[in-house]
Each structure stands twice: as structure tokens, then as C-alpha cells.
Amino acid sequence: MRKAAPCLPSPGFAFPDWAYKPESSPGSRQIQLWHFILELLQKEEYQGVIAWQGDYGEFVIKDPDEVARLWGIRKCKPHMNYDKLSRALRYYYNKRILHKTKGKRFTYKFNFSKVVLVNYPLLDVAAACCTCVREEDR
């Protein structure tokens, strides 16, 4: 009998595939800010601008002005700045999609279980993220 695999989130759960929209997709201007942030975090070319850090789901905005500029380009809002972007991020606090990490500047943390539940309420999170099934050797 093999031992049970540890109950760890699968890569698809940590970086939900459904949260990413191709840049050229129809209606891509309708992307939500948290989707856009996940998109940037997924791409290696933006690691100097925004990157995962610390705890599961925690990320730091290394260049706030550049993230705001990129968001402005994506939304066709040339006057976007970090003040406006951070105001939009605060909207997600009450929805518990993400929160500011206390004592760390420009650092936020996603609540991935809430992100999944908000967008896919009937999804069984435990089944989606865990591989805790015992299998017998054959």
C-alpha cells in the first residue's frame, strides 16, 4: 500500500487557469484587476515589476507606477496611476478576494479559496486542490 500523497494545492489551484484571459480575447477590456494581477504574476517578464513573495498567495508590487501604467494600457485609461489602482485594490478587501499584508509596503495576499468560491460557488474546493486519496499498489 502506498502512503497518501500530501494534501497540497495543485498548481492549477494556486494559479487558477480560469482567472487568466488571453490579452487578445474578445472583451479583454472587461478584465478585472485581480485577474490582471494574476496575469502579470504568471509572466516571467514582469518579475521585476510584480512577484510572488513569502506566504502562499502573497505578492509584492515592486514597481507600483509601472503596474499602474500597464493596467491603464489594458483598460485604455492613459491617466491611470498607483493611487487609482490601489483604490481599486481596496475594493477587493470587503469581498475578501485579497488583503493588504500588514507592515509590508506594496504587499498583498490573495485569498484563493474565496476567489474560487466567488467565481465558481458550486466547485468543491477540497476536490479541486487536494490529492489526499489513498491508492493501493497494483
**Structural domain tally of the chain?**
1
Residue 8 lies in a domain: no
Provide the CA 71 distance to its chain's centre, in angstroms.
15
Domain range for residue 106?
Answer: 30-128
Residue 10 lies in a domain: no
Residue 85 lies in a domain: yes
**Would you call 21 helix, strand, or coil by DSSP?**
coil
Choose between 72 and 18: higher pLDDT: 72
Residue 46 lies in a domain: yes
Residue 59 lies in a domain: yes
Tens digits of per-residue pLDDT, 75-116? Answer: 999 999 999 999 999 999 998 899 999 999 999 999 887 665
Judge whether residue 71 has pLDDT over 80. yes
Residue 12 lies in a domain: no
Percent of residues in the chain assigned helix, strand, coil, to nearest 5: 45, 10, 45
| Ramachandran angles phi, psi of 51, nearest 5° | -155, 155
**What integer pLDDT is reported at residue 115 of this predicted model?**
62
What radius of gyration do the chain's Cα atoms show?
Answer: 17
CATH number at residue 112: 1.10.10.10
**What integer pLDDT is reported at residue 26 of this predicted model?**
53
Judge whether residue 4 has pLDDT over 90. no
Give the Cα separation of 69 and 121 in Å (integer). 33
Judge whether residue 37 has pLDDT over 50. yes
Residue 136 lies in a domain: no
Residue 50 lies in a domain: yes
Choose between 16 and 83: higher pLDDT: 83
The dihedral formed by the CA atoms of 46, 33, 93 and 7, expressed in degrees to the nearest 10: -60
Mean pLDDT over residues 29-38, rounded? 88
Query: What global pTM score does this model have?
Result: 0.65
